[in-house]
Structure 1
Amino acid sequence: MDATERTPEGTSIPAPLRHEESRFHLIDIVIELVDDGAVTVPALKPTELYIRGLSQIGDEANGKQFPLSEASPQRWTVDGLIELSPQAEEIDCEVRGEAGDIGTARLALKGVSLNERVTTPVETSDASSQFLITWKPVEIQLVNDTEEDSSARKELLERSVDMYRRFKSTGRLTDISDAVSTLRQVMETTSDTSKNLTTVLNYLGTFLLCRFDHTAHLQDVDEAIRVQTRAIGLTPEGDTNLVAWLSSLGNSLQARFEHTGDLKDLAEAIRVQTQAVDLGPDVHADLPALLTNLGNSLSSRYETTGNLQDLDQVIRLRKQALDLAPEGHAFLPTFLTNLGNSLIYHFKHTGNLQDIVEAIRVQTRAVDLTPEGHVDLPGWLSNLGNAFLHRFSRTGDIHDLSEAARFQRRAVDVTPKGHASLSAQLLNLGNSLLSQFNRTGELQDLTEAIRVQKQALDLIPQGHGALPLLLTNLGNSLLSRSNSTGNLQDLAEAIRVQKQAIDVSSQEHADLPTFLANLGDSYLFRFKRTGDLHNVVEAIEVQARAVDLASNGHANLPLWLISLGNSYLSRFSRSGNLEDLAEAIRVQTRAVELATEGHANLATLLTYLGGSLRSRFERTGNLQDIAETIAVQTRAVDLTPEGHVDLPRHLANLGNSYARRYEDTGDLQDVVEAIRIHTQAVELTPEGHESQPGKFSNLGYAFLFRFRRKGDLDDAAEAIKAQARAVNHYS
């Protein structure tokens, strides 16, 4: 390559020292797939760039491998810089993928101007795909120990920070990848004895963690932990920066735990973040942030163990951070929304409605404090929507459900196109739309939920940490549509994507029990549709594994036990084996016992237990079982607030049990109760809801029972009217 030396007037540089003072490098290396609409990207995924003869031109055996990071589904980058021989005129590159070599490129260096980007085609054997390699040659002056404030290095550092901030605003992964690449140049040209090296290392760790948060490439968080650990090792005790370095390391360790499930990482994160809080004086300006970071790691431990003491400590720390932050503090909305999220967890664990009310209050304040166009606004809106959705799950108030969807639609609308967080906003919107369908029975809501969930999947690369969650949620929506329409193709697709969610999760993934339980629900539904006993066996196997993996205090364990019990009950209905029925009642009784009074799902747990007890009554005729069935179903109804989406279903179950006991005992008061309860269930069911015919049919049978007993023609007329309403629903 041709380079022009520029030196201060009157200063000469001896020739032998020239390349000790400066060196030539390639930076900003990007491999890009030109999309023609026909290429399947995963099959052509590049993983490394192999370059021959870097240290001695002409030495073909002297090659070097450079790993590629996936910046987006069609763009891969080489982090850092590649040093060249000063005599190099061209270099040969091989782009390699998971399935073998993809292609080659010869980079012509001679005659290329420094600091200008160059694009070279990659020659591939597959004519249907076209890759380009883009690169930039630069000459970097080495920083001597006596040149701490090198203007060249300072310029690169400022450039990397600008790119990082731009990424936070735009969400374009190319920006954060460029920030990482540029900062690597600063690190690699900074002396180990430089007093600024620790700052550079900590910045690099922060940038790598940021990219990991959006791509889930484990090598990024591994590198972040290495450079942050190195920064701490270079920082003497008493240095004011040490608390920040420790807290940042804790953030990276916690992020790696969330990806791998390695509890050693989480324990170390809590240890170093506790050390950071202990080292920071009470008046330290960063103390609210230090407390927040420690709270995040403790929250991860709570999610893993279900230990309520951890969650109580998280709430205390986040309230303390909020109290220490003055009005107008830059991170005040962050502290508010984090506290709100902790209160939501507390609500899910205890069922205390005041928790969710307070969560909505603080997260509303976070949104109000955040101006339009702010980078964090989409996340705050989405969190607020989640809070409303959780309150809806307890109260059944349709207004809360509408608010959840409204805020999450707004979150999607204000997220820039191409932003790395858009998939998360779409995921949350999909959850609200699915809940809306479950409340109204409107297939349009379910169709839109599936559409946005598929859109979210299309936006994230393979290997992304959110991929299992997106897959399992899509599976849940497809299962709901199959349940509503009877389409077995939707059911098969639900099982496929839910199995994929499990396959792409590590065995230690915190949400693996959830993924297993969801797959079990789909297997069970397919058994009910097809009668294939193999499906219910599969359901029991994966649901039992979910239960075994969950800690005893896990907030969702009662629900997983109920699902397992339902599968045992279904197998009993096919086999008649009383051991299956006994096991169903055992695990569902345990579910009810584990749920604290006020648990958000306690009414549902009781309803399912009642169903299993009813089945045993049908088999044995023991009136004690039907009496216990009515008792637990009555408790379920009493726990369900007016307007709740599940109240009609709970009422219908209770009414059926009263009617069934009447058939055995002939006690007229039972059929009177059945008519009263079924009438209430009909009145509370939305017009046109898919469950409406069943509710009218139940009511019709109850009136028919009383007519047969008393001979009152008014009862016969009511029975005919109710049954006609049931039939007319389908006409």
Structure 2
Amino acid sequence: MGFLRRRSLARLLDGLAEAERRSADDPAALDRSIELWDRILEDADMRAHPMALNGAGWALLTRFRRDGAEIDCRAATRRFEQAYAAAAPGGEHRRDAAQNRCTSLVLAYEWLGDVAALDQAITLTEAEVADAGSEVPARLAGALAEARFARFRRDGRDDDLRRAIALAEQAVAAAPDAEAAAGYGRNLRTMMDTARGETAGMRTNVAGVSAARAAVTAAPQRSPDRGGRLLNLGATLYDRFVREGDLADLAEAVTALREARTVMPPVAAPYAQTCAALAVALLEQAARRDRPELIAEAVTLLGEATDRTNPHAPDYAVWLSMLGNARSQRYVHTGDPGELDAAIAAYREALDRLPAGHTDRPGLLNNLGSGHWDRYGRTGRSDDLSAAADAYRDSLAELPGDTASRATVLGNLANVLAELGDPQAGPTYRQATRSALETTTGTAVAVADTWGRWATQHGDWAQADDAYALALTAMRRLRERQLIAGDRETWLLATQHLPVAGAYAAAQAGHAEQAALRLETGRAMSLSEALQRDQRRLAGLDADAALRPLAQRFRAAARVLASGAR
């Protein structure tokens, strides 16, 4: 092929690629571009041109993202494989083909449920990364990081998570511009949060929200990227709301996600993701604003997300789990037993879709147990009680280490065992309380209080004494950790019965001195909190020279009483 012809064809390919980017939201234009790619590849000289093959594959993959047709995904992967074989080793076109092939194979797993495609993506792309040495392009490292993270979510293997984080760090370092670095950085934070055991999603800051807003502003109304950018903005705002609690962030997240849902084609996986993200935000609004109608909307959205997802895709089980949670919340508001039955069915189907060892299974099993426990409370059916115990035990068997979740599940299991009259109820309550003392003090207070009430009802004063001793320890720790005065007062009001209940249990167990100490400690704690509240009210007296000595004497007395509470 002559130089002039190669140059003309290169310009044509560049122009065609640009036209695709501009018209990807126009179904007819995208279909025409794919037909044009096919005609270009009929040329003998272009049939093995890596740039043409990459372009043709990307057009097919773009249509797959739009329509979700499996044939387009498979055809795109073949084009990328041809481009990879035709490109010179170590060259830019070969790296592009490797990255594109990895992306299409991961999509085949995530959208079509092709498990083998994910493993193939990792094996082939790791080989290319190894050949690249220290010069791994950001796109290639980022694609492989996403593939490794997807397999971690599937199998729960720590080596996949560690490798995903290392690759994401490489992608951030090698990013060609700030926008690309921000995108890789968001993925990296999600992976690192997962490694720390956090579930709130990626941690964001003002800069992250500002960048997401700017990305939406820069996308024209008909841009194919606008829906994805709105989804990212909504997710970023929601994650900041989870961390900081600003309801304005939650409201803006809902607005962004509603718009994202209107501009996205309703056939692709991102549309289902948008429905699910919007449902989560609406459930949060429903809880904070007492608007049960938002729960009904969330149920509808999650049903839509499930209906539009391939049952073999990994997100299918996630949407089912979320649908179960939403239906459980709707049951609480409506009392409709059909909602609870549907929630239990959703949890069971989701569990059937997840392989053993999957990181989502323990939480799902706990939710399933809670569904059966709630249904037992409504119907009194013994099979629901047994099913709840089995689910909680299975959850504990699959939970790693001594986590906050473990304490919660242990407490749930103890409640079921107590209802069954199982003698292991007491030891399980004890284990749950001690576990919670190291992780979530509020849970420790609640579990120990329940344990104490149960032991008191059964006249087991030794256990009741132990339970309230741990409850009071947790109560003191919780009070010390509550930096906001209003939070301390709320907890003090909710736990004000513990010193009296603990004193009664100690007296019945034959520990009179301990009973007196618990009563005095509770009294001192209440007085100390009251004095601290009064101190805040007295702060304005310092401005009055005549009243300042009185305020100082009051504070001195408060310090004496506070030392007694400790």
Normalized against structure 2, the TM-score is what? 0.70
Q: Does 1:442 align with 2:291?
A: yes
Percent identity over the alignment is 19
1: CA distance, partners of 2:480 / 2:33? 57
Match of 1:576 in 2: 421
Normalized per residue, which structure has more strand? 1
Match of 1:335 in 2: 181
For each residue in 1:655-687, what CA deviation from the matched residue of structure 2 results, as whole angstroms up to 9, or x when unmatched?
44334213334543355378679999xxxxxxx
Match of 1:166 in 2: 23
Query: Structure 2: which amino acid aligns with 1:565?
Result: L
1:228/1:249 contact within 8 Å kept: yes
Match of 2:504 in 1: 663
Distance 1:548 1:378, change over 3 A: farther
2:113/2:312 contact within 8 Å kept: no
2: CA distance, partners of 1:163 / 1:233? 24
For each residue in 1:677-718, what CA deviation from the matched residue of structure 2 results, as whole angstroms up to 9, or x when unmatched?
9999xxxxxxxxxxxxxxxxxxxxxxxxxxxxxxxxxxxxxx
Q: How big is the shift at 1:448? A: 3.9
Distance 1:303 1:462, change over 3 A: closer
1:564/1:584 contact within 8 Å kept: no
Q: How big is the shift at 1:431? A: 0.6
Q: How big is the shift at 1:612? A: 6.1
Query: Structure 1: which amino acid aligns with 2:422?
Result: N
Match of 1:240 in 2: 92
Residue from 353, 371, 376 that aligns with 2:225: 376
Match of 2:103 in 1: 251
2: CA distance, partners of 1:515 / 1:175? 44
2: CA distance, partners of 1:639 / 1:376? 45
Match of 1:416 in 2: 263
1:184/1:204 contact within 8 Å kept: yes
Q: How big is the shift at 1:217? A: 6.4
For each residue in 1:124-171, what CA deviation from the matched residue of structure 2 results, as whole angstroms up to 9, or x when unmatched?
xxxxxxxxxxxxxxxxxxxx9xxx98x99x99998798567534x46x
Match of 2:277 in 1: 428
2:369/2:387 contact within 8 Å kept: yes
2: CA distance, partners of 1:608 / 1:500? 31
Q: Does 1:493 align with 2:342?
A: yes
Match of 1:28 in 2: none
Q: Does 1:406 align with 2:252?
A: yes
Q: Does 1:297 align with 2:147?
A: yes
Q: Does 1:362 align with 2:208?
A: yes
Match of 2:473 in 1: 631
CA-based RMSD of the aligned residues comes to 5.0
2: CA distance, partners of 1:520 / 1:281? 49
Q: How big is the shift at 1:231? A: 3.8
Query: Structure 2: which amino acid aligns with 1:621?
Result: W
1:559/1:591 contact within 8 Å kept: yes
2:20/2:59 contact within 8 Å kept: no
2: CA distance, partners of 1:342 / 1:180? 35
Q: How big is the shift at 1:486? A: 2.6
1:475/1:494 contact within 8 Å kept: yes
Match of 1:138 in 2: none
Match of 1:672 in 2: 523
Distance 1:403 1:221, change over 3 A: same
For each residue in 1:445-504, what CA deviation from the matched residue of structure 2 results, as whole angstroms up to 9, or x when unmatched?
434433444454566676665443333222212211212343323222322333444456
Number of matched residues? 510
Query: Structure 2: which amino acid aligns with 1:658?
Result: P
Match of 1:525 in 2: 374
The unaligned stretches of length 5 or more in structure 2 are 507-514, 532-566
Q: Does 1:475 align with 2:321?
A: no
Query: Structure 1: which amino acid aligns with 2:99?
Result: S
Q: How big is the shift at 1:637? A: 5.5
Q: Does 1:228 align with 2:115?
A: no
Q: How big is the shift at 1:532? A: 2.0
2: CA distance, partners of 1:320 / 1:473? 33
Residue from 600, 605, 621 that aligns with 2:461: 621
For each residue in 1:61-108, what CA deviation from the matched residue of structure 2 results, as whole angstroms up to 9, or x when unmatched?
xxxxxxxxxxxxxxxxxxxxxxxxxxxxxxxxxxxxxxxxxxxxxxxx
1: CA distance, partners of 2:76 / 2:125? 16
- Name the SS of the counterpart of 1:539 in structure 2: helix
* Correspondence list, 1:685-700, <5 A: none
2: CA distance, partners of 1:184 / 1:385? 36
Distance 1:530 1:636, change over 3 A: farther
Distance 1:342 1:302, change over 3 A: farther
1:468/1:502 contact within 8 Å kept: yes
1: CA distance, partners of 2:109 / 2:436? 28
2: CA distance, partners of 1:452 / 1:518? 20
- Name the SS of the counterpart of 2:89 in structure 1: coil
Match of 1:538 in 2: 387
* Correspondence list, 1:65-76, <5 A: none
Query: Structure 1: which amino acid aligns with 2:414?
Result: L
- Name the SS of the counterpart of 1:237 in structure 2: coil
Larger deviation, residues 649-658 vs 476-485: 649-658
Q: Does 1:564 align with 2:564?
A: no
* Correspondence list, 1:59-208, <5 A: 162=19, 166-167=23-24, 169=25, 178=31, 182=35, 185-186=38-39, 189=42, 196=48, 198-203=50-55, 205-207=57-59
Normalized per residue, which structure has more helix? 2
Q: How big is the shift at 1:403? A: 0.5
* Correspondence list, 1:312-331, <5 A: 314=164, 317-318=167-168, 320-325=170-175, 329=177
